[in-house]
A and B are shown apart, each in its own frame.
Chain A
Amino acid sequence: MPATETLHLIREFLFPGRYERAAIPSLDGGLAANDALDAFDTVTSEPVTEPDDVLVGPDGAVRVTSGRRVLRVTGGAVETVATLPGDAGAMAWAADGSLLVCVAGHGLFRVEPDGGSPQLVADRGSDDRPLHCLTAVAVAADGSVYLTDGSTAHSGPDWIRDLMERNAAGRVLRWDGRDRTAQVLRGGLAYPHGVTLAGDGSGLLVTEAWRHRIVRLSLDGASVRDMTRTLPGYPARITPGPDGTYWVALFAMRTQLVEFVLTQREYVAEMMRTIDPDFWIRPALRTLNSGLAPLQGGQVIKLGVLKPWAPPRSYGLVARFDADGDPIESFHSRPGGGRHGITGVRQSGDTLFVAAKGGDQVLTTKAGAGR
């Protein structure tokens, strides 16, 4: 037994119950668990393969990124608008009306609203590192484009490696459209996965997935401060909601096992070396329902029932935060539900669109409905 453990044991013996560890906040208040997400309508009748982001155009049609394609959904009919060289992720409308699409492993692409061949417009930062892991894009009123690059170590589909390595190699950048280089506003972020402009125009709101929080960043990136307290999950995209609030998609929940495993470096190294990533101890976008995936005690099916409180390997959660960073309301899909791995959320008028990457569905609901 290592000396540190012996010390812990003695300390525990002398002062039981005072041994502190980082706590995962519980799901209460605005984040109280429900099954609302499972009751949402779907935009299409057929499943959409791994929708990553959802965006509503001026024409009222919904754009969805799915795999390498950008889809346009009009009244249930799906057509492919563009095909990109890598996995397509976040989208935003540029000031000139074209569509900006983040592509994993490549950079930022411009797609004409009606299709046509995509054009690479930004592929490296001012620090000369490539934009391989663009996770979000937001366009300011003055036309400047803000980007988050999750990690300089791994590209988009390999995000789980970035978590397991406990990296903080993400960047927030501004692209002014002049050339293919984006200016780095701030580096050293732990997987920034979403960016939006603060309602008062004073700065940026950036989600930092591996630090489980949303930070407020000044427009020049010089100052950073926490907007939310620690979140119970890993936040993905953040988009404006009504009345100065913000929608945040949380693509997975933290579990005590994962938090624990992250501290066990020897185990993580061996796991990453020898095991298929699908079967790692990790947060995931979807639950495989395979015996090869690790099982946790609370996940054992008892008398044919999977407990909804089971530690979630994957989970669906969309939450609305007020300007102070407090959660107001949330929609969940718990273990046993299928609409997991929410990466994108967007409100257009009074309609909410949700991209459930792990659930292969684009969901929608009218504001106020079912809440």
Chain B
Amino acid sequence: MTVSVSARTRGHRRPPERNIPAAEGLAQRVHQARQRLSVQQFLAELFEKRWMEPAIPLAVLVGVALYFTITVPTFATSGTLLSTTQELSEFAFVCVGMAVVMISGGIDLSVGSMYALSNMVALLLISVAGVPVAVAIPLTLLAGAVMGAVNGAIVAYLKARPFLTTLVTLIIFRGVLNLLDLTYSARTAESSVDNPLWTFLGGGAVVGIPAAGAVLLVVLVVGHLLLSRSRFGWHIVAVGASRRAARHAGIRVERMLMTSYIVSGIMCALAGVFYAARLNSASARVGEGLELSVLTAVVVGGISLAGGKGTVWRALIGAAIVVLLGKGLLLMNVSGNVYQAILAVVLLLAVGLDVKWGKNRGKAIQKIYVNPTLVSYDELPDVRHGSGSPYEVNDRLRAAEGIGVGQVEGPEDVILDRQGRLYCGVRQGWILRFSGEDLSHREVFARIGGHPLGMAFDADDNLVVCVGGMGLYSVAPDGTVRKLTDETKRTWTRLRDDSRLRLADDLDIAPDGKVYFSEATTRFDMADWILDGVEGRPNGRLLCYDPATGTTETVLDGLVFPNGVCQSHDGESVLIASTWLCRILRYWHSGPNKGRTEVFMENFPGYLDNINRASDGTYWVALNGMRSPAYDLAMRMPAFRRRMMKQIPRDEWLYPSMNHGCVVKVSEQGEVLETLWDAGATVHATITSMREHDGYLYIGGLENNRIGRIKLDPSRRDEGHPAAPRATVHTG
């Protein structure tokens, strides 16, 4: 009966999940492939990544470098590169200092003056005071630290605004510099330092890298470790992110602020030392306007002006962009004024983007995260009264008696044990047990958390449960809960990490003890199931947990909301219900057909939920809602769904008709045998599961406040209706 083609490969492959039935023509396939790809989804997942934040500045840097390499012939020569590296290193020291201050939530405008003053101090110490170079360098760094401490003390302890404070110290330090310059310019100008260390710092190289570059690397590595891996770094970031929260957490905010400014001072001094060693020039004009370039670099690099965000690498990237830009423009003979103007524009753009991106990134991702795709169904089977269809609406479920009415909230699945006790999971995260006469005695069997969904008993009478939001759990007969698995191997071809189980939905246990279970969607949480429905993409998968080894692996990937999972009567295959595609797949996990996937039944008039074996060699299938023509049409129009999602609130969205579910009995050959409806949605609005036990059928529903029970009439056996013809299925 079931049409299929030979399996070319074995193991893990895409199942025949198609959103368009029988898309055989080339044009249709291309159309569908185009519908499957989604630039938006790619972008959303990309921008969700943390490493995307420095990726944009990095791309800009690469772009700038490429542009000048191509347009300016002298740009990429080794001489230029060497001198660029040296300049970049000096500049990057200052940028790192500024970055630390900005990460702590402040700003340091005095960097230019500190840098120039350090340069002067170093030269004075060496050439005027005659201090040995090896001593003069630490002394210069100390001078930088003192200048930073002045800033820090005023900002941290006197609670002055960093902007104004550092603006004032900018003028003061510059004033001191001018004063020193007036007094000593004649003596610094004529002196020259003859010291191997000094010469090395100014022009030497370590393995081809200028000395300044080598020191910069060390500073960057140490800075990175300090910022990202040490208590000091975390405290700095915490202070920058929220000063009040940091204080409440017991962080010494003042000390941290003070330290960050001292770091900035030392970095400026370091840059000053290298500058002094390179040029031996104690001009008063050194470092004028440097704060603009540094600020531009740091912001372009992606360090937020708001604080609490940034790394030293970003400072380096920003610095490189600004230095390369300057160098390239210089080589292109662009005047310094134009360069300043360009820098200002870049700063403006970067600040604007920083504010907008920082504020709206999450929203922007949210806006483009859900990407509806084309889902096209075959013609909707007529279920109306008098249609003569095997799915014809009737009132048979209306006679169901209620168990635990008002005592259960959302029994997605129901199951009975050997003693005839009834179990169901509820939205409180519990598993309830009903026992006694008429199953009227209710008790909490286990408290797991999450939302327990599909259930099955293993050979040792442990209740194995899929828990939405948590994973696969096992409950022993005495009620103790044990986690079986909550992760699988990550799909490396995907941007998003999908190793954690997000929505384990239903399971069944194979004769060899392996647990086959479905994860309905890897992209959405359980409360957002409708988003997966609106999207209609193959986001789910079939997993297998092997209790012998304790490992979990992905058996089938790319399923469209796989929901119910049911072991076939012969024990060789599992049936998998694909909710949004309204079809059942069959996957052979053993036997001669092992590894093959095919469509078992399709074009149901509703959305499939759980599947269970019936006592007579057939299967029970729950339809949690009906397909409405309006929703079918919307599924064919992805752009319509996307606009709907964006423009109106969720309570107003067009939903699948979840208020009208039914139970369908199908044969091993895929024929519809009978259908049980609750036509007016009087008591069982949604039907997500059913379980046959001892001549009764028990009915559970995700949104219901009861479990239904209806006595099955053993004499009733409708004529088998042939199922709709099935499409040929390709595997691999």
Hey, which bits of chain A sit against chain B, CB under 8 A?
1-2, 5, 9, 12-14, 16, 21, 255-257, 260, 264, 266-267, 270-271, 274-276, 279-281, 289-304, 310-311
Q: Are A1 and B626 in contact (CB under 8 A)?
A: no
Q: Are A21 and B705 in contact (CB under 8 A)?
A: no
Question: Would you give 18 A-B contacts (Cβ < 8 Å), ordered by A?
Answer: A9-B364, A12-B367, A256-B649, A257-B644, A260-B644, A270-B633, A275-B629, A275-B633, A279-B628, A281-B630, A289-B681, A292-B384, A294-B628, A300-B686, A300-B703, A301-B659, A303-B410, A310-B651
Pick from A14, A279, A289, A300: contact of B658, CB under 8 Å: A300
Chain B residues 606 to 633 lying within 8 A of chain A, measured CB to CB, are 606, 625-631, 633
Which residues of chain B are within 8 angstroms of A2 by Cβ–Cβ distance? 639
B409 contacts chain A at the CB level, 8 A cutoff:
yes
Q: Are A255 and B626 in contact (CB under 8 A)?
A: no
Task: Determine how close the nearest CB of chain B comes to the CB of A12; give it in whole angstroms.
Answer: 7
Q: With A and B bound together, what is the CA distance between A311 and B651 in angstroms?
A: 8
Pick from B629, B640, B650: contact of A297, CB under 8 Å: B650
Given contacts A1-B40, A13-B356, are A296 and B633 in contact (CB under 8 A)?
no
Q: Are B655 and A295 in contact (CB under 8 A)?
A: yes
Q: With A and B bound together, what is the CA distance between A290 and B631 in angstroms?
A: 14
Q: With A and B bound together, what is the CA distance between A172 and B482 in angstroms?
A: 75
B643 contacts chain A at the CB level, 8 A cutoff:
yes
Q: Are A275 and B657 in contact (CB under 8 A)?
A: no
Q: With A and B bound together, what is the CA distance between A14 and B363 in angstroms?
A: 11
Pick from B363, B383, B630: contact of A13, CB under 8 Å: B363
Q: Are B360 and A291 in contact (CB under 8 A)?
A: no
Q: Are A295 and B659 in contact (CB under 8 A)?
A: yes
Given contacts A1-B40, A292-B384, A304-B683, are A276 and B629 in contact (CB under 8 A)?
yes
Most buried by B among A21, A297, A301, A302: A301
Which residues of chain A are within 8 angstroms of B648 by Cβ–Cβ distance? 256-257, 260
Q: With A and B bound together, what is the CA distance between A216 and B367 in angstroms?
A: 43
User: Contact string, B242-262, partner A, CB cutoff 8 A, digits 1/0?
Assistant: 000000000000000000000
B660 contacts chain A at the CB level, 8 A cutoff:
yes
Q: With A and B bound together, what is the CA distance between A291 and B632 in angstroms?
A: 12
B696 contacts chain A at the CB level, 8 A cutoff:
no
B349 contacts chain A at the CB level, 8 A cutoff:
no
Q: With A and B bound together, what is the CA distance between A267 and B633 in angstroms?
A: 8
Given contacts A13-B363, A290-B660, are A300 and B356 in contact (CB under 8 A)?
no
Q: With A and B bound together, what is the CA distance between A244 and B643 in angstroms?
A: 45
Pick from A12, A255, A291: contact of B657, CB under 8 Å: A291
Q: Are B681 and A303 in contact (CB under 8 A)?
A: no
Q: With A and B bound together, what is the CA distance between A192 and B311 in angstroms?
A: 66
Most buried by A among B363, B652, B704, B705: B652
- Closest A residue to B380 by beta carbon equals A292
Q: With A and B bound together, what is the CA distance between A202 and B591 in angstroms?
A: 88
Which residues of chain B are within 8 angstroms of A270 by Cβ–Cβ distance? 633, 637
Q: Are A279 and B630 in contact (CB under 8 A)?
A: yes
Q: Are B681 and A297 in contact (CB under 8 A)?
A: no
Pick from A266, A275, A291: contact of B606, CB under 8 Å: A291
Which residues of chain A are within 8 angstroms of B704 by Cβ–Cβ distance? 303-304
- Closest A residue to B625 by beta carbon equals A291
Q: With A and B bound together, what is the CA distance between A16 and B648 in angstroms?
A: 15
- Closest A residue to B643 by beta carbon equals A264
Pick from B360, B631, B680, B683: contact of A294, CB under 8 Å: B631
Which residues of chain B are within 8 angstroms of A13 by Cβ–Cβ distance? 356, 360, 363-364, 367
Q: Are B633 and A304 in contact (CB under 8 A)?
A: no
Q: With A and B bound together, what is the CA distance between A291 and B656 in angstroms?
A: 9
Task: Determine how close the nearest CB of chain A comes to the CB of B493; give it in whole angstroms.
Answer: 24
Which residues of chain A are within 8 angstroms of B384 by Cβ–Cβ distance? 292
Which residues of chain A are within 8 angstroms of B683 by Cβ–Cβ distance? 304
Which residues of chain B are within 8 angstroms of A301 by Cβ–Cβ distance? 659, 681, 685-686, 703
Q: With A and B bound together, what is the CA distance between A72 and B40 in angstroms?
A: 64
Q: With A and B bound together, what is the CA distance between A255 and B648 in angstroms?
A: 10
Task: Determine how close the nearest CB of chain A comes to the CB of B101; give it in whole angstroms.
Answer: 29
B634 contacts chain A at the CB level, 8 A cutoff:
yes
Q: A275-B630, A294-B657, A296-B654 are in contact. List 4 more A-B contacts (CB 8 A).
A: A1-B639, A291-B625, A293-B657, A294-B631
Most buried by B among A257, A271, A290: A290
B residues contacting the other copy or chain, number (CB 8 A)? 50
Which residues of chain A are within 8 angstroms of B606 by Cβ–Cβ distance? 291
Pick from B40, B637, B653, B659: contact of A291, CB under 8 Å: B659
Task: Determine how close the nearest CB of chain A comes to the CB of B663; give it in whole angstroms.
Answer: 14
Hey, which bits of chain B sit against chain A, CB under 8 A?
40, 356, 360, 363-364, 367-368, 383-384, 409-410, 530, 606, 625-631, 633-634, 637, 639-640, 643-644, 647-660, 680-681, 683, 685-686, 703-706
Q: With A and B bound together, what is the CA distance between A14 and B606 in angstroms?
A: 41
Q: With A and B bound together, what is the CA distance between A299 and B367 in angstroms?
A: 25
Q: With A and B bound together, what is the CA distance between A318 and B253 in angstroms?
A: 64
- Closest A residue to B653 by beta carbon equals A297
Q: Are B657 and A260 in contact (CB under 8 A)?
A: no
Task: Determine how close the nearest CB of chain B comes to the CB of A4; give it in whole angstroms.
Answer: 11
Q: Are B628 and A293 in contact (CB under 8 A)?
A: yes
- Closest B residue to A310 by beta carbon equals B651
Q: With A and B bound together, what is the CA distance between A295 and B626 in angstroms?
A: 10
Q: With A and B bound together, what is the CA distance between A302 and B704 in angstroms?
A: 6
Q: With A and B bound together, what is the CA distance between A303 and B703 in angstroms?
A: 5
Q: Are B652 and A300 in contact (CB under 8 A)?
A: no
Task: Determine how close the nearest CB of chain B comes to the CB of A261; give it in whole angstroms.
Answer: 8
Q: With A and B bound together, what is the CA distance between A245 and B384 in angstroms?
A: 46
Q: With A and B bound together, what is the CA distance between A271 and B630 in angstroms?
A: 7
- Closest B residue to A1 by beta carbon equals B40
Pick from A9, A16, A266, A290: contact of B368, CB under 8 Å: A9
Which residues of chain A are within 8 angstroms of B626 by Cβ–Cβ distance? 291-292
- Closest A residue to B648 by beta carbon equals A256
Which residues of chain B are within 8 angstroms of A296 by Cβ–Cβ distance? 651-655
Given contacts A256-B649, A297-B653, A301-B703, are A267 and B640 in contact (CB under 8 A)?
yes
Q: Are A255 and B629 in contact (CB under 8 A)?
A: no
Which residues of chain A are within 8 angstroms of B625 by Cβ–Cβ distance? 291, 295
Which residues of chain A are within 8 angstroms of B628 by Cβ–Cβ distance? 279, 291-295
- Closest A residue to B368 by beta carbon equals A9
Q: Are A280 and B630 in contact (CB under 8 A)?
A: yes
Q: Are B409 and A303 in contact (CB under 8 A)?
A: yes
Given contacts A270-B633, A302-B703, are A255 and B640 in contact (CB under 8 A)?
no
Which residues of chain A are within 8 angstroms of B681 by Cβ–Cβ distance? 289, 301
- Closest A residue to B626 by beta carbon equals A291
Task: Determine how close the nearest CB of chain A comes to the CB of B46; give it in whole angstroms.
Answer: 15
- Closest A residue to B409 by beta carbon equals A303
Given contacts A9-B367, A13-B364, are A297 and B530 in contact (CB under 8 A)?
yes
- Closest B residue to A257 by beta carbon equals B652
Which residues of chain B are within 8 angstroms of A260 by Cβ–Cβ distance? 643-644, 647-648, 652
Q: With A and B bound together, what is the CA distance between A291 and B356 in angstroms?
A: 45
Q: With A and B bound together, what is the CA distance between A276 and B629 in angstroms?
A: 9
Q: With A and B bound together, what is the CA distance between A281 and B634 in angstroms?
A: 11
Q: With A and B bound together, what is the CA distance between A257 and B627 in angstroms?
A: 18
Q: With A and B bound together, what is the CA distance between A137 and B428 in angstroms?
A: 58
Which residues of chain A are within 8 angstroms of B631 by Cβ–Cβ distance? 294-295
Most buried by A among B649, B651, B703: B651
Which residues of chain B are within 8 angstroms of A264 by Cβ–Cβ distance? 640, 643
Q: Are A292 and B659 in contact (CB under 8 A)?
A: no
- Closest B residue to A270 by beta carbon equals B633
Given contacts A13-B356, A267-B637, are A294 and B630 in contact (CB under 8 A)?
yes
Q: With A and B bound together, what is the CA distance between A303 and B633 in angstroms?
A: 29
Which residues of chain A are within 8 angstroms of B660 by Cβ–Cβ distance? 290-291
Task: Determine how close the nearest CB of chain A comes to the CB of B664; give it in whole angstroms.
Answer: 14
Given contacts A291-B606, A298-B652, are A304 and B705 in contact (CB under 8 A)?
yes
Given contacts A13-B363, A291-B628, A301-B659, are A267 and B634 in contact (CB under 8 A)?
yes
Task: Determine how close the nearest CB of chain A comes to the CB of B353; give it in whole angstroms.
Answer: 10
Given contacts A297-B651, A301-B659, are A271 and B703 in contact (CB under 8 A)?
no
Given contacts A270-B633, A279-B630, A291-B606, are A304 and B706 in contact (CB under 8 A)?
yes
Which residues of chain A are within 8 angstroms of B644 by Cβ–Cβ distance? 257, 260
